[in-house]
Amino acid sequence: MKPHPILAALRQHKAGVSLIVLQIALTLAIVCNAIFVIGQRIERVGRPTGAVEDGLIRISQTWFGAPAGGDAATVEKLDALQRTDLATLRNLPDVLDVAASTSMPLQGMIYSGTLTLNPQQTGVAASAAYYYGDERLRSTLGLRLIAGRDFKADEILHHTLASDAASPVVIVSKPVADRLFPDGGALGKTVYQDGKPATIVGIVERLQTPTTAKWGSAWDYNSVLEPVRVDGASASYAVRARPGREAAAMREARKALLAVDPLRVMPDTWGVQSLSQIRDKIYRADRGMALVMGVVCLILVVVTAAGIAGLTSFWVGQRRKQIGVRRALGATRSDILHYFQIENFLIVSGGIVLGMVLAFALNLVLMTHYELPRLPLYYLPIGALVLWVLGQLAVLGPALRAAAVPPVVATRSA
């Protein structure tokens, strides 16, 4: 069937055609960008932390009336409090291991700095988050050690964050090692943390930083384990529960620590949390946005399909006598069906062409104001294919009704 008669007929309904073309274009532009954003959010929510998350617990607390000051005696008292807590937690029946840990992937205080290959801090550099902890930190978090070893007990320092003491050894994540030593061989090399030397004694495969903020997105997995128990009025611990005993271990930990010091501050909402709970809280907004945008996409698609079906139904009603004349002149039901299918294909194609332009324009706005990456080109042909199929499905009902119009309609008066 030649498209010329169809185009001529469409020119008689410019307003209706223009509206449905614009609706299709807006649907393509919005849905393509929305699906892209949803994909970005889902990818973000599903990012692995590098830790074995099942059974991993974070405990955060503050000693009420803890000694204050930076003198050696005060630091020793604070460290004694921390060591007592660690020993108490290790003796719990549902706990496999415990480590001093200032932070946890996705949550906690983020201490960061720059690693370089010289004390002048010039040349190749890697920004990284510092995880302070003891010799059990790597194993408690469940990080995969791909080279080197864990810290030794005699390598663990303890001091306040205000101390100038430098860590003699560090364990780095693979992205840090690859950044500083792209040709390999990072193990055993000396690096400079903010100008202070340290030897790399281990490399872990992956460790996400404690922050999910945009300012840290360029180095999400640049992390360094520091052999330091940080002494202060507050302390946090990483706890590894026995398989299937996470909830029990959390209850036991709270009860045991309060038994040691009932005056400590350990809020119910965040004092004892599993990493799965932390992940749920951190990514709640991302999941919510993905859900809302998914609902918006569904509504747009349904409304567009309804618009196509409604407009075609209206045209079928207007053209019943014309359809009857065509049937009387020999047109088959298949000819009538194909006419409306081709007509719909042409309308949808016009909307798709305009929609592609609008999709790029919308993506440009999102890139400029919301730092969204460029929309991949393959989203457009996929979106076009979906709309073509949607258009054919939407027009099928009205087209079948049109094909069922009998030739005798041509003989009836208007």
Beta carbons within 8 Å of 233's beta carbon, 6+ residues apart = 62, 63, 66, 68, 78
Q: Identify the band that residue 65 occupies on the pLDDT scale cut at 50, 70 and 90.
A: confident
Q: CA-CA distances (angstroms) from residue 32 to 209, 367, 385, 394? A: 31, 14, 12, 20
Quick check: is 268 in a domain? yes
- The total number of structural domains in the chain stands at 2
CB crowding 295-329: b at 16 or more within 10 Å, else e: eebeebeeebbebbbebbbebbeebbeebbebbee
Could you tell me what percent of the chain has a pLDDT over 70? 96
Question: In the predicted model, what is the mean pLDDT of the chain?
Answer: 91
- pLDDT category at 319 given cuts 50, 70, 90 is confident
CB count within 10 Å of CB 178 equals 16
Q: Which domain holds residue 116?
A: 56-282
Beta strands (DSSP E) in 145-222 are 145-148, 157-159, 169-173, 190-193, 196-204
Report the distance separating Cα 237 and Cα 240, nearest Å. Answer: 10
Given 282, 305, 327, the domain boundary residue is 282
pTM: 0.82
Are 20 and 144 members of one domain? no
Same domain, 66 and 138: yes
| Same domain as 160, residue 247 | yes
- What digits encode the pLDDT tens for the residues 220-240? 999 999 999 999 999 999 999
Angle between helices 284-318 and 320-328 (to 10 degrees): 60
Residue 98 near residue 83 (C-beta atoms within 8 A): no
Positive or negative torsion for Cα 367, 369, 372, 377:
negative
The answer to whether residue 51 sits within a structural domain is no
Instruction: Give the C-alpha separation, 269 to 359, whole Å.
Output: 43
Local structure of 26: helix, strand or coil = helix
**Amino acid at residue number 88:** T
Same domain, 110 and 149: yes
Clarify whether residues 276 and 298 are in a common domain. Answer: no
User: Whole-angstrom Cα distance, residue 387 to residue 391?
Assistant: 6
Please say whether the beta carbons of 100 and 137 come within 8 A: yes
Q: Which of 218, 252, 282 is the last residue in one of the domains?
A: 282
Q: Are residues 21 and 163 in the same domain?
A: no
Choice between 323 and 144, residue whose per-residue pLDDT is larger: 144
Mean pLDDT computed over 81-92: 96
Give a yes or no: residue 50 inside a domain: no
Written as one string, the DSSP assignment of 228-286 is: EEE-SSEEEEEEEEPTT-HHHHHHHHHHHHHHH-TTSB--TTTSEEEHHHHHHHHTHHH
Residues 322 and 253 in one domain: no
Of 282, 297, 320, the last residue of a domain is 282
242 with 156, same domain: the answer is: yes
The label of the residue with tokens 């079906």 reads 309
Shared domain check, 232 and 158: yes
Given a cut of 60, whether residue 187 has pLDDT beyond it is yes
Same domain, 251 and 387: no
Most confident of 66-75, 172-181, 321-330, 342-351: 172-181
| DSSP letter (8 states) at residue 214 | G
- Averaged pLDDT, 312-339: 84
pLDDT-based confidence at 315, cuts 50/70/90?
confident
Give the CA dihedral 67, 68, 70, 76, nearest 10 degrees: 10
DSSP result, 36-69: HHHHHHHHHHT---SS--TTEEEEEEE-TT---S
Across the range 127-133, mean pLDDT stands at 95
Q: Is residue 89 classed as helix, strand or coil in its secondary structure?
A: helix
Does residue 214 share a domain with residue 300? no
**Residue 3's pLDDT is what?**
65
pLDDT at 74 (0 to 100): 94
Instruction: Convert the pLDDT of each residue in 379-393 to its tens digit.
Output: 999 999 999 999 999
